[in-house]
């Protein structure tokens, strides 16, 4: 892949992640500035993960790194607009939810339930565990990664709404 | 109404009532336990009281003790309303607690600002409906779905989310809402298989129910567990996982109805 093509793909990826973040941010009713920041964080996060995965890194490791970065950035932005950091963390992580893996997990479970062919069934079990474990690890990486900065800097993250 | 003695020195009952209302409102709006605890203790401190708080899924229990006079104490237990995430309340109430602490606001001022904050209106539900539909459609794009899949997901989310909003207004059980809304969205997105629209009908079916992700309870539960509020954290986790399970059941039944040999 040439560099301009790659950059174009990253930008498209980031824009779609931003649209996703805006839609899900608004359903938790934050302030307008917070919505824009979640869109920005989502675009940065998903774009970076796209680059990591393209360069051959494992999906759950790259998710963990990006989620930690989003956690740090959200504390930084929280201090600027005086708004708790959790407000951005959920919508900006949302584009990374492993929906496709979760769907494949359910699909292989149904297929396993309905099939009577034991050779095929072994394949379905393998699919179930592969997809299920990937879903679980990505979800864990997301939530643990984003809450790490809150744990590392508790004073900082609880005083962001202080104005003096 | 202007010159009541309580304006100068509020009684312990008044303070406790106000603080537990604030705690319940924070819980309903989706703050994690540590934030509730810190906000309310901070406010109690500025009035010269010590505060102990137990947060449960459905109720909050609070004991407030005067710092000058240990015999002056009061325990309250109040039911919380069902979860309706509203981060504007969380951040405004959090600012209010710091303002109370830093500027020593009087009881009356705090009460007025509290009522001002919680009477603020939410964003219109139609705007939410449209934006969530666009969001879910671009989710499908992120999973590399083609234009047919994106369109199908948009329609599926529009209808599924509308059904969810209508059922929420009628106070149907949460689990039933999630299952039936996922079922409807799954059926609509599954039309891609039946009418052979585009090359990625699988992705449409996979991303059509993602608007159900209970992200805020999940993140709150992990924060609670890590910070040591294990009981609250686990009850939030069970809540979130049962919502996910119901979404899966809804999608599951839609897929069974569509016929698996096509999938």
Per-residue pLDDT of B188-243, as tens digits, reads 988 888 888 888 888 888 888 888 888 888 888 988 898 889 999 999 999 999 99
The pLDDT tens digits of the residues spanning B18-43 come to 999 999 999 999 888 988 998 899 88
Residues of chain A with pLDDT under 50: none
Q: Do B215 and A24 touch (CB under 8 A)?
A: yes
Q: In what order do the strands lie in the sheet containing B59-66?
A: B49-55, B59-66, B73-79
For A103, the token pair is 């769907």
CB of A111 less than 8 A from some CB of B: yes
Mutate to test the interface with A, among B139, B205, B226 (most CBs of A within 10 A): B139
CB of B46 less than 8 A from some CB of A: no
Query: Rounded to a whole number, what is the distance in Å from the CA of B132 to chain A's nearest CA?
Result: 4
- Read off the pTM: 0.86
Q: Which residues on A lie below 8 Å from B35 (Cβ)? A: 84, 86, 158
- Would the ipTM clear 0.90, i.e. be above it? no
**Residues B238, B241, B246, B249, Cα dihedral to 10°:** -130
Q: Do B91 and A31 touch (CB under 8 A)?
A: yes
At residue B159, the pLDDT reads 94
Q: Which residues on A lie below 8 Å from B210 (Cβ)? A: 97, 99
- Distance from C-alpha of B161 to C-alpha of B181, rounded to nearest angstrom: 7
> Which among A29, A93, A147 has the least Cβ separation from residue B88?
A29
Q: Do A100 and B143 touch (CB under 8 A)?
A: yes
Q: Report domain extents, chain B.
A: 5-118, 125-262
């Amino acid at each position: 892949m040439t560099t301009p093509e790659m950059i174009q793909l990253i930008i498209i990826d980031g824009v779609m992640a931003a649209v996703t973040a805006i839609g899900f941010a608004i359903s938790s009713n934050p302030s307008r500035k917070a919505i824009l920041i979640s869109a920005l964080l989502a675009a940065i996060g998903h774009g970076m993960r796209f680059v990591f995965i393209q360069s051959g890194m494992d999906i759950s490791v790259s998710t963990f790194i990006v989620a930690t970065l989003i956690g740090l950035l959200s504390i930084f932005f929280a201090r600027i607009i005086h708004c708790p950091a959790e407000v951005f963390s959920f919508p900006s992580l949302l584009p990374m939810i492993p929906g496709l893996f979760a769907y494949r997990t359910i699909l292989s479970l149904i297929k396993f339930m309905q099939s009577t062919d034991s050779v095929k069934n072994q394949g379905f079990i393998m699919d179930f565990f592969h997809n299920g474990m990937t879903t679980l690890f990505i979800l864990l990486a997301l939530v643990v990664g984003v809450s790490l900065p809150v744990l590392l800097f508790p004073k900082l993250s609880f005083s962001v709404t202080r104005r003096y | 109404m202007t010159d009541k003695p309580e304006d100068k020195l509020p009684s312990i009952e008044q303070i406790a009532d106000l603080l537990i209302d604030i705690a319940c409102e924070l819980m309903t709006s989706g703050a994690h336990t540590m934030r509730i605890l810190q906000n309310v203790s901070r406010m109690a401190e500025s009035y010269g009281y010590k505060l102990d708080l137990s947060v449960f899924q459905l109720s909050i229990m609070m004991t407030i003790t005067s710092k000058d006079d240990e015999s002056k104490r009061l325990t309250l237990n109040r039911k919380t309303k069902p979860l309706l995430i509203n981060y504007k309340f969380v951040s405004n109430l959090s600012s209010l607690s710091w303002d109370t602490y830093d500027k020593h606001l009087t009881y009356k001022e705090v009460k007025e600002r509290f009522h001002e904050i919680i009477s603020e209106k939410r964003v219109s539900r139609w705007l939410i409906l449209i934006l969530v539909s666009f969001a879910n459609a671009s989710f499908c794009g992120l999973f590399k779905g083609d234009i047919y899949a994106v369109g199908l997901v948009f329609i599926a989310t529009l209808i599924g989310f509308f059904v969810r909003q209508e059922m929420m207004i009628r106070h149907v059980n949460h689990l039933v809402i999630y299952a039936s809304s996922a079922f409807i969205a799954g059926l609509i997105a599954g039309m891609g298989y039946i009418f052979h629209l585009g090359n990625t009908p699988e992705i449409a079916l996979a991303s059509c129910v993602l608007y159900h992700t209970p992200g805020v309870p999940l993140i709150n539960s992990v924060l609670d567990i890590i910070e040591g509020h294990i009981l609250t954290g686990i009850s939030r986790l069970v809540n979130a996982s049962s919502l996910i399970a119901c979404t899966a059941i809804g999608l599951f039944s839609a897929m069974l109805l569509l016929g698996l040999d096509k999938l």
